[in-house]
Structure 1
């Protein structure tokens, strides 16, 4: 067989050769080697390292082969790109027939190397995908663990696949321990038929579902919860995976129960309060009727005086009282204002009416003695819880008309003269019902025909308006009365009361308003 035929046969099996001398000159005895390496433009002899630069640094090893100090030397899987990518193994063998040369064998391993590369690439790709899946799983786990509510996911048969840390704390099972378990294992008491029915409906219809239920974990702890579930298809877990979130509403339920109990108690209390209010209102109505009966409606008719009264009580029972009694040829006048309001004030009012009328025959002739005796009787008969202001007065007609009075801390009488003059009468005094053996002063004034004399309680001077101002007790009060002056007593009193109401405006009335008027005929 010729050398050319041998070269062809060897080349078909991917083996090419050449001869290397001691000067490191490669002789291309096999022309197919040049073609394989893509060296068509080089000569028949070339320096070994120019053809195979991969051999730089291995010169000593190659010398050992040439001079028979070792059998061979090899470099495996050398990569080149000619028309396409090739891989080959390079072998250098000692030449048994020549002492200063060696045989160069090039073994083509392209097919196997490419297959190996593809396998390695696929392996690398799988490794990357696995690493990505691991990273994604770690991300999802971290994300789930940041959710403050228990989160779980399970397969279509109801067995748990995984959960977050809050679900582990909620059930008392670790993620590994609950894997593959169903709900009845995790919770000692649960309506499993209802629980599973919700899952079956969710798998059949898809979407999401939420409901409220009661569960008890293995530690015996009872919870009221809202469970939100949704489903997504997954062939690896029986066709579907159920994801759920549990919201603990135990605290809210306890508050609702407490609120319910409190509401029930409030209803009972409201019923009791309603009964008490009814009784109080009934008592107030009785007391109000009693007070109304105490107040004088008809006044003595005389030839020298006309008498009139205006009374605007509060909704509560007030403490204002007045009386005008004919005592012989005189008229005795008494007006008072008890501190406070309500049923107690009404009781004290009835006592004062009784006390004041019981001493009028003996002391009516002297207003100062009258007031001192009333103070004594009041303090000796009653625990001094209430005090009162009062004026005891007398109109006498022996020589003209004379008004004599004593003041126990009450707003001053006002005399409106026929000639237009207006003034406050008397001076301040101490209120009644505080000090034993209290002494009072006595004052007098002459009344002429056409003069008007007024008595009132502090509900008029202490009337407030929206600017938090009051009418006042001194000059401003006299000006107020003066503006209300009309030709008749009735018109004058109506005008004064109208001014009080206008001054107050939208402000709620804060005290009884009493105005008692006299005009000399």
Structure 2
């Protein structure tokens, strides 16, 4: 060190951008400002310190070797520096140039952690991942790819590479390997991506998704779906047959008994319904009633057919007491109604000027009296079959010619709109009061029209619906009509003009029923066949036109 120009050396030390220090016998005899900044100590502290206090990694001789060393700074922070030893004339003194590599070391540690993390993700992926070069030589692959074996991977790589075109670096593909593998066809979805490394060489990353099990399940599901569709078609045909049978035991929508003119609307929520109604004339009275079997579908429809059989019995339908009729039905159904099924009903027996009735779990009869009073009648009791040994209570009221009785099942008042709001019995009363002076078929039309508008279509309701309007009148006149001209003569002028529109639909001779109503007539034209038509001026019910 004696041969070095002192001024030049001093200039080098001061202007060096790197931390520099000179030591002699483990003492600092010189250091520049950059070294002071590196250590965090002030100059006076460094002048008093020994090397071992600053550098904890001295060799066994107490000297500093070339290479990386740790520096314990003033704030007790360990820094990593690269030390180069120069101008050493003996083992006791030397010049050292330092390079702070703390951040670089941290980056290397972070990079290593990142690589370990990525390797962990790579190995845990469910999809197979293969990295290979342009010669199809596999560079790396994860555990999910290993399971396919060498031959399968080779075929997948060849197929995937064949899909790459010159102007594309990414390809998505789905394919099946035609060869069977352990008795199975293999189905794959692949994604291959080419990557250029430092503009020098190209590698490919292939992601393999095994669709074999998914495809096999799909094929099996398709087979089962076909079988299910065949069974559903058979069931649909059987249900249609059952519905036709059920419709045969249900009375027509427009019926005439000895003491009443009756209009009824029955809509089932399913192919087979649990609602049922009956209208029949006996010697002394007329039987008129609606029944609502709880639930829907096949079980409820079978109970309806059993109920119809019971009501067809002379012993039952000739009972003059409604409460005894309910009790007889309960006894005949005893231990025969499955599960929790029961029957709600409102039933009336019309004598000449008296009506005996009972409501078992259904809505009470509503009467529109000729003087304009609208009221419900009697009290409700338990449904048939709900409890053992029930007491059914019968009520009675007098009526006059041209009074109107309304019967309805809970499906009417419990129908809901798109907001989930119920139709409610109060709304029924509002419509009845609004149209109470009109003819029975107009009351019938207006209630159903309002219900249809409220629900967005009563055919879409979740419960069976039965709505019945009973016009109490023993007066009626039947006329046999031989021609259209004869029909026109019997009709009021407005109706004559309306019927001219449907002249071609009427096949003469036909029967015309005229029922008096407040100085006018209610007409029922019996066509003898069903007519598929709609009109705002009259009702088309089954094989009749009512106006």
Scaled by the length of structure 2, the TM-score of the pair is 0.54
Aligned residue number for residue 365 of structure 2: 413
CA offsets 1:240-289 (integer angstroms, 9 cap, x no match): x753233241xx11xx1122111111101111110121121112101111
Alignment match of 1:488 (pick from 422, 428, 439): 439
CA deviation after TM superposition for structure 1 residue 312, in Å = 2.9
CA offsets 1:108-165 (integer angstroms, 9 cap, x no match): xxxxxxxxxxxxxxxxxxxxxxxxxxx9xx99x98998685665668xxx698x96xx
- SS of the residue corresponding to residue 312 of structure 2 reads helix
More helix per residue: 1 or 2? 1
8 Å Cα contact 1:392-1:407 kept in structure 2: yes
8 Å Cα contact 1:152-1:243 kept in structure 2: no
CA offsets 1:330-351 (integer angstroms, 9 cap, x no match): 1122321001111222111000
Aligned residue number for residue 289 of structure 1: 244
Quick one: distance in 2 between partners of 1:350 and 1:323? 12
1:371 paired to 2:322: no
Alignment match of 1:243 (pick from 188, 198, 202): 202
1:322 paired to 2:281: no
Aligned residue number for residue 268 of structure 2: 313
1:451 paired to 2:410: no
Alignment match of 2:255 (pick from 256, 281, 299): 299
Distance change in 2, residues 1:334/1:364 (3 Å): farther
Quick one: distance in 1 between partners of 2:153 and 2:198? 27
Aligned residue number for residue 391 of structure 2: 439
The number of equivalent residue pairs is 344
8 Å Cα contact 2:358-2:380 kept in structure 1: no
Quick one: distance in 2 between partners of 1:326 and 1:265? 59
Quick one: distance in 1 between partners of 2:141 and 2:461? 65
Aligned residue number for residue 478 of structure 1: 429
Aligned residue number for residue 265 of structure 1: 220
Aligned residue number for residue 453 of structure 2: 502
Distance change in 2, residues 1:246/1:224 (3 Å): farther
8 Å Cα contact 1:151-1:243 kept in structure 2: no
8 Å Cα contact 2:170-2:191 kept in structure 1: no
Quick one: distance in 2 between partners of 1:270 and 1:282? 18
Structure 2: segments with no counterpart, 5+ residues: 7-104, 123-128, 178-185, 474-547
CA deviation after TM superposition for structure 1 residue 430, in Å = 0.3
Distance change in 2, residues 1:486/1:290 (3 Å): farther
8 Å Cα contact 1:334-1:391 kept in structure 2: yes
CA offsets 1:6-37 (integer angstroms, 9 cap, x no match): xxxxxxxxxxxxxxxxxxxxxxxxxxxxxxxx
Quick one: distance in 1 between partners of 2:350 and 2:329? 19
Distance change in 2, residues 1:461/1:484 (3 Å): farther
Quick one: distance in 1 between partners of 2:405 and 2:168? 91
Quick one: distance in 2 between partners of 1:387 and 1:196? 67
8 Å Cα contact 2:303-2:337 kept in structure 1: no
CA deviation after TM superposition for structure 1 residue 479, in Å = 2.3
C-alpha root-mean-square deviation of aligned residues, in Å?
A: 4.4
Quick one: distance in 2 between partners of 1:350 and 1:170? 63
8 Å Cα contact 1:368-1:392 kept in structure 2: no
Aligned residue number for residue 235 of structure 2: 280
8 Å Cα contact 1:225-1:246 kept in structure 2: no
Query: Mapping of 1:52-451 within 5 angstroms?
Result: 151=131, 166=140, 228=193, 242-249=201-208, 252-253=209-210, 256-297=211-252, 299-302=255-258, 304-358=259-313, 360=315, 363-397=318-352, 401-451=353-403
Quick one: distance in 2 between partners of 1:291 and 1:379? 23
Rg larger in 1 or in 2? 1
Distance change in 2, residues 1:359/1:440 (3 Å): farther
Distance change in 2, residues 1:460/1:483 (3 Å): farther
Distance change in 2, residues 1:267/1:405 (3 Å): same
Quick one: distance in 1 between partners of 2:395 and 2:461? 33
Distance change in 2, residues 1:268/1:363 (3 Å): same
Distance change in 2, residues 1:53/1:393 (3 Å): closer
CA offsets 1:370-429 (integer angstroms, 9 cap, x no match): 1111111111444454211012321111xxx10001221111000001111011111010
CA offsets 1:494-513 (integer angstroms, 9 cap, x no match): 11111111222478422222
8 Å Cα contact 1:316-1:342 kept in structure 2: yes
Distance change in 2, residues 1:418/1:258 (3 Å): same
8 Å Cα contact 2:345-2:362 kept in structure 1: yes
Quick one: distance in 1 between partners of 2:394 and 2:270? 35
Aligned residue number for residue 26 of structure 2: none
8 Å Cα contact 1:144-1:151 kept in structure 2: no
CA offsets 1:80-104 (integer angstroms, 9 cap, x no match): xxxxxxxxxxxxxxxxxxxxxxxxx
Structure 1: segments with no counterpart, 5+ residues: 1-51, 56-134, 173-185, 215-221, 235-240
- SS of the residue corresponding to residue 441 of structure 1 reads coil
Quick one: distance in 1 between partners of 2:159 and 2:405? 94
CA deviation after TM superposition for structure 1 residue 321, in Å = 0.9
